[in-house]
C-alpha cells in the first residue's frame, strides 16, 4: 500500500504533522493508498516556494513555458489508458468516461500550450500626437487552485494549464476524494520539465488545507470549483482579504423536449446527461422539461431506459453507471428521495440504494426518474449530484424557457426541436452560460468558454481564450516620444 507525498519546492515531502488519509475505491471500499493530510504549515511552505519561483518563471518567455506544456500533453496522451484506470479506481466513473476525462486534459494542455504564442494584448491610437498606446498581459502572481473530485484530470487541467502558460506559479489542492489523478498529473508536468517551485501540490481537506490557501498572503488569486455553499465562503473570505477569486459552483440543468423533437435523439441525450458519471456532473441534466404533446411517450421511454441501465464497477466494460463517490453523497441522494415524496413527486423508477452481490461493497444508487415535477419543488431547484432527473410538464416554449430560467443556477441548458426559429428563440432567451441545440447538457469543448450565471459562478470563465482573463492582469502602457509634457485631457486645441 503506497503512501504518497506533497510536492513542494521541487521535493516530495510528507505533511509536517505526519497525518495521512486513505484514498478509497467507491466501487469496492478498497483502500488505494494514503495521502498527506496537510495543514497550514504545509500550505505556507508551498506558497513560499511558489513566491520564490515566481520571478524566474514569469521572466521565461511564454513560448518557452508552452514547450513544457506541449511535452506534458504528449506524455498524458501516451499514458491515457493507465491514467484512466487510476481515475476509475479512485472516482468510480466508467472506464469510457474516465478516458474522456483524461482526453479533456490532453486537449486542454495542447490548447493552452498554443496560447504561449497567442497571449495577445492590443494597440490603439493615442489621443495625443507622437504618443503610442498599448495594453499587455501580466501574470497575477502566486495563484491557489482548489479542484473537486468528479473530473480529477480535466478540471485541474482547466486551471493549471492557463495559469502556468501565462507565467503564474501555483499552489494546487485537489479533492481528498480523488488525489491520485492529481498526483499523476503533477508528476507528468515535472517530467515534462517544469522547474522546482513553479507548481506545488498540497493534499488535504477543505477546512484545513483549503482555508489555508485562501488565507495565505502570498497567494493573490483563488480559482475554486465545488459546491455553491463552499464557494460563497471562499468568495467572502477572499473578498475580505482583497483577493481575486474565480468560482464555478454547480448547476441545475435542464433539457427541453418540444413536441416536434426527434424523441430518440432526445432520449439518448437525456440518458447520457442525467446518468453519466452517476449524475455527479455540474452539467448533469437533473431536469427534463417536456411539452405535453410528447410527455406520455417520452416519459415511458425514459423510464424504460433508466430501468435497463446496468450498475457496477467502472472497470467492467458492461457497466453503464458506476458508484457515487462516498457514503455521504449516497446519504444525500437518499434524503432527496424523502423530499421528493413529501413534495408530491412520483418515483417512476429507482429511488433507492442499489444492493445485492458486489453492489453491497460500494456506494451505488439506482438511476431514478421523478415524474409529476413542478418548478417550485426542491428536487427541481437544488443540486442533488446523483443519478436522478425530474420530468416537468409544460405547455409552450415560452413556459419551458421560464421554467429553465427559474432556478438559482445558470450553467447549462439544452433544447430539442426541429424548428430553427424555436431554436434561435431559445438561444436568445435561455439564461445559462452553455446552450445546446439537439444535444444534451454536457459536452463542452476546450476552446470555448465554460461557466455560468447566477449561483453557478461569479463571471469568470474557464477554458478557451476566456481563461486567460482569470490568470492575467492588464497593464496599460503609454510611450510619449514628443519630447514635451502632454496632458491628455487638458492639452486640447
Helix/strand/coil for 217: coil
d(CA 486, CA 466): 35
Reduced to 3 DSSP states, what percent helix, strand and coil does the chain have, rounded to the nearest 5? Answer: 40, 20, 35
d(CA 452, CA 343): 28
d(CA 365, CA 311): 9
Half-sphere exposure of residue 396: CA atoms within 13 angstroms, side-chain side = 4
d(CA 285, CA 410): 12
d(CA 38, CA 325): 21
Half-sphere exposure of residue 491: CA atoms within 13 angstroms, side-chain side = 8
For residue 181, what is the enclosing H or E element? helix 179-191
Please classify residue 365 by burial: count the beta carbons closer than 10 Å to its beta carbon, then call 0-12 exposed, 13-18 middle and 19+ buried: buried
Q: What is the mean pLDDT of the chain?
A: 97
pLDDT of res. 1: 84
The C-alpha cell at 323 is 458508484
Q: Are 224 and 246 in contact (CB under 8 A)?
A: yes
Q: Where in the chain is the domain with CATH 3.40.309.10?
A: 253-437
Q: What is the pLDDT of residues 264-288, one digit of tens each?
A: 999 999 999 999 999 999 999 999 9
d(CA 66, CA 44): 28
d(CA 93, CA 89): 8
Domain 253-437: give its CATH architecture: 3-Layer(aba) Sandwich (3.40)
Q: What is the pLDDT of residues 186-219, one digit of tens each?
A: 999 999 999 999 999 999 999 999 999 999 999 9
Q: Residue 493: which pLDDT band, with cuts at 50, 70 and 90?
A: low
**Residue 367 Rama label (left phi>0; alpha psi -120 to 50; beta):** beta
Mean pLDDT, to the nearest integer, of 235-261? Answer: 96
Q: Where in the chain is the domain with CATH 3.40.605.10?
A: 6-249+457-477
d(CA 246, CA 223): 5
Please classify residue 74 by burial: count the beta carbons closer than 10 Å to its beta carbon, then call 0-12 exposed, 13-18 middle and 19+ buried: middle
Quick check: 67 pLDDT over 80? Answer: yes
d(CA 80, CA 105): 10
Q: What is the pLDDT of residues 398-417, one digit of tens each?
A: 999 999 999 999 999 999 99
Q: What is the pLDDT of residues 431-480, one digit of tens each?
A: 999 999 999 999 999 999 999 999 999 999 999 999 999 999 999 999 99
Strand order, beta sheet including 412-416: 346-349, 368-371, 388-394, 285-291, 253-257, 412-416, 434-437
Q: How many helices (H) and strands (E) does the chain have?
A: 14, 21
In CATH, what number does 6-249+457-477 get?
3.40.605.10
Q: Which residues of 194-228 are buried (b: 16+ CB within 10 A; e: fewer)?
A: bebbbbbbbbbbbebbbbbbbbbebbbbbbbbbbb
Q: Are 388 and 378 in contact (CB under 8 A)?
A: no
Residues assigned a catalytic role: 248, 282
DSSP category for residue 411:
S
Quick check: 489 pLDDT over 90? Answer: no
pLDDT of res. 435: 98
Quick check: 492 pLDDT over 80? Answer: no
Amino acid at each position: 500500500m503506497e503512501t504518497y507525498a506533497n510536492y513542494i519546492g521541487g521535493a516530495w515531502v510528507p505533511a509536517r504533522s505526519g497525518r495521512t488519509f486513505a484514498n478509497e475505491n467507491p466501487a469496492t471500499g478498497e483502500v488505494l493508498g494514503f495521502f498527506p493530510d496537510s495543514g497550514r504549515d504545509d500550505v505556507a511552505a508551498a506558497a513560499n516556494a511558489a513566491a520564490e519561483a515566481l520571478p524566474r518563471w514569469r521572466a521565461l518567455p511564454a513560448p518557452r513555458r508552452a514547450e513544457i506544456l506541449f511535452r506534458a500533453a504528449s506524455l498524458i496522451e501516451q499514458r491515457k489508458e493507465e491514467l484512466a484506470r487510476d481515475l476509475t479506481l479512485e472516482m468510480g466513473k466508467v472506464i469510457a468516461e474516465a478516458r474522456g476525462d483524461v482526453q479533456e486534459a490532453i486537449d486542454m494542455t495542447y490548447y493552452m500550450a498554443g496560447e504561449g504564442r497567442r497571449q495577445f494584448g492590443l494597440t490603439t491610437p493615442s489621443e495625443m500626437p507622437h504618443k503610442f498606446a498599448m495594453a499587455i498581459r501580466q501574470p497575477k502572481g502566486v495563484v491557489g487552485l482548489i479542484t473537486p473530485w468528479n473530473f480529477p484530470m480535466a478540471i485541474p487541467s482547466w486551471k493549471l494549464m492557463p495559469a502556468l502558460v501565462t507565467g503564474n506559479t501555483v499552489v494546487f489542492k485537489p479533492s481528498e476524494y480523488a488525489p491520485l489523478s492529481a498526483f499523476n498529473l503533477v508528476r507528468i508536468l515535472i517530467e515534462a520539465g517544469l522547474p522546482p517551485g513553479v507548481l506545488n501540490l498540497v493534499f488535504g481537506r477543505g477546512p484545513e488545507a483549503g482555508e489555508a490557501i485562501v488565507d495565505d498572503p502570498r497567494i493573490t488569486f483563488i480559482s475554486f470549483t465545488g459546491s455553491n455553499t463552499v464557494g460563497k465562503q471562499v468568495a467572502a473570505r477572499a473578498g475580505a482579504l482583497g483577493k481575486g477569486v474565480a468560482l464555478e459552483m454547480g448547476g441545475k440543468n435542464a433539457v427541453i423536449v418540444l413536441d416536434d423533437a426527434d424523441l430518440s435523439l432526445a432520449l439518448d441525450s437525456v440518458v447520457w446527461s442525467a446518468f453519466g458519471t452517476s449524475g455527479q456532473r455540474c452539467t448533469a441534466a437533473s431536469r427534463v422539461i417536456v411539452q405535453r404533446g410528447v410527455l406520455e411517450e417520452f416519459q415511458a421511454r425514459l423510464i424504460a431506459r433508466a430501468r435497463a441501465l446496468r450498475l457496477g464497477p467502472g472497470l467492467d466494460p458492461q457497466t453503464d453507471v458506476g458508484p457515487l463517490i462516498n457514503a455521504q453523497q449516497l446519504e444525500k441522494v437518499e434524503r432527496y428521495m424523502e423530499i421528493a415524496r413529501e413534495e408530491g413527486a412520483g418515483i417512476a423508477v429507482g429511488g433507492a440504494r442499489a444492493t445485492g452481490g458486489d453492489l453491497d461493497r460500494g456506494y451505488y444508487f439506482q438511476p431514478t426518474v421523478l415524474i409529476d415535477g413542478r418548478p417550485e419543488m426542491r428536487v427541481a431547484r437544488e443540486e442533488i449530484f446523483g443519478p436522478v432527473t425530474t420530468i416537468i410538464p409544460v405547455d409552450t416554449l415560452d413556459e419551458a424557457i421560464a421554467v429553465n430560467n427559474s432556478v438559482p443556477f445558470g450553467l447549462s441548458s439544452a433544447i430539442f426541436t426541429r424548428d430553427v426559429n424555436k431554436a434561435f428563440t431559445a438561444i436568445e432567451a435561455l439564461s445559462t452560460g452553455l446552450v445546446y441545440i439537439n444535444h444534451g447538457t454536457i459536452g463542452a469543448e476546450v476552446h470555448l468558454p465554460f461557466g455560468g450565471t447566477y449561483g453557478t459562478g461569479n463571471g469568470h470563465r474557464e477554458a478557451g481564450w476566456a481563461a486567460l482573463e482569470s490568470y492575467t492582469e492588464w497593464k496599460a502602457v503609454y510611450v510619449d516620444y514628443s519630447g514635451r509634457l502632454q496632458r491628455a485631457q487638458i492639452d486640447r486645441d
